[in-house]
Amino acid sequence: EPEVTQTPSHQVTQMGQEVILRCVPISNHLYFYWYRQILGQKVEFLVSFYNNEISEKSEIFDDQFSVERPDGSNFTLKIRSTKLEDSAMYFCASSRGGPDEQFFGPGTRLTVL
């Protein structure tokens, strides 16, 4: 069964450093998403991406964040200058169509020291 993959599974970084989280969505999916979950809190939407552009973003997704689909398979989330409060599990998801089921990857746990 096709699945969303994410690398790395755990990233530790120093405050102020840039990090890039990588995702490979399911191959025939057209919509891509990033969510985050701070430990003990709810899953929060960050951004959706369709047709090579951002289609929707939340208030969390400020100028420190960017997304890119650099080639036909990868989808990345970049955090330019990490803060302590960016520590969270970051989930990538993809769907075939907008309202269709979103399939989540296993997540990248980001720890900012």
Please state the closest distance from residue 16 (CB atom) to another protein, in A: 27
**Which residue reads 């969270």 in tokens?**
88
Query: Nearest approach, Cβ of 27 to another protein (angstroms)?
Result: 18
Between residues 55 and 81, which has the closer beta carbon with respect to another protein? 55
Q: How far apart are CA 48 and CA 31, in angstroms?
A: 7
Buried b / exposed e along 59-73 (16+ C-beta atoms within 10 A): ebbeeebebebeeee
Residues lying near another protein in the complex (CB under 8 A) are found at: 31, 33, 35, 41-45, 48, 55-56, 58, 89, 91, 95, 98-99, 101-102, 104-107
Dist. CA 24–CA 6, nearest whole Å: 6
Cβ-based nearer residue to another protein, 53 or 71: 53
The distance of closest approach from Cβ of residue 26 to another protein in the complex, given in angstroms and rounded to an integer, is 13
Map tokens 């296993």 to a residue.
Answer: 106
Nearer to another protein by C-beta: 20 or 43? 43
